[in-house]
Amino acid sequence: MAIETLKKPARCSECGALLKPGTRVKIYQKSDGTRLIYGFTCHKRKVNEEEKQDQPEELKADWDFISGQLADIQSLLMQIVDILSARKEALSENDTDLTAADWRKFWMKVKQMGFDEKQVHEIYNTDSMKKVIKSKEDMERVLSELKEIAF
């Protein structure tokens, strides 16, 4: 069961009420993939007399309020997850202490050993050495590996 905010109009699976975009709804995904959508306030819940006594209207209203709050928290968490994963991607691209000068020196040394850029890419099976070398240690390692196979 998920609580979502409708992006497009839907009908309540319980009572058929039209639920407008922006309405909080409960969504049940059935095993065959169809989604059942239930509004929170459009229909009275089917409860037996005993449950009605245990669950006065006031309490039910509270629960609807809490469900709404939970949906807010859920969507905030999703936003946080999005932010964190975006940050992680940015880090994996940019988290390197290598400067343009380091790369110039790297290619200079590589050329001194008799390799050109295309050959190095072929050796490391990549289209960019930036994918292989993420740190100065990586750069030193690649240079010594190339040195071993240089003529």
Shortest distance (Å) from residue 14 CB to Zn ion: 4
Stretch that binds Zn ion, among 43-51, 97-105, 119-127, 130-138 (CB under 5 A): 43-51
17 or 132, CB closer to Zn ion?
A: 17
Q: Which one among 43, 60, 109, 121 touches Zn ion, defined by CB under 5 A?
A: 43
Q: What is the DSSP string of 1-39?
A: -EEEE-SS-EE-TTT--EE-TT-EEEEEE-TTS-EEEEE
Q: Is 60 in the site for Zn ion (CB under 5 A)?
A: no
- Nearest residue to 106 (alpha-carbon basis) of 80, 139, 137, 78: 139
Shortest distance (Å) from residue 17 CB to Zn ion: 5
Q: Is 14 in the site for Zn ion (CB under 5 A)?
A: yes
Residues contacting 143, CB < 8 A, separation 6+:
106, 109, 110
**151: amino acid identity, one letter:** F
Q: Which one among 3, 27, 36, 42 touches Zn ion, defined by CB under 5 A?
A: 42
Cα-Cα-Cα-Cα torsion 115, 118, 120, 124, nearest 10 degrees, comes to -160
Stretch that binds Zn ion, among 16-24, 64-72, 86-94, 133-141 (CB under 5 A): 16-24
Kindly state the tokens that stand for 130: 């930036």
Q: Is 15 in the site for Zn ion (CB under 5 A)?
A: yes
Which residues make up the interface to Zn ion (CB under 5 A)?
Answer: 12, 14-15, 17, 39, 42-43
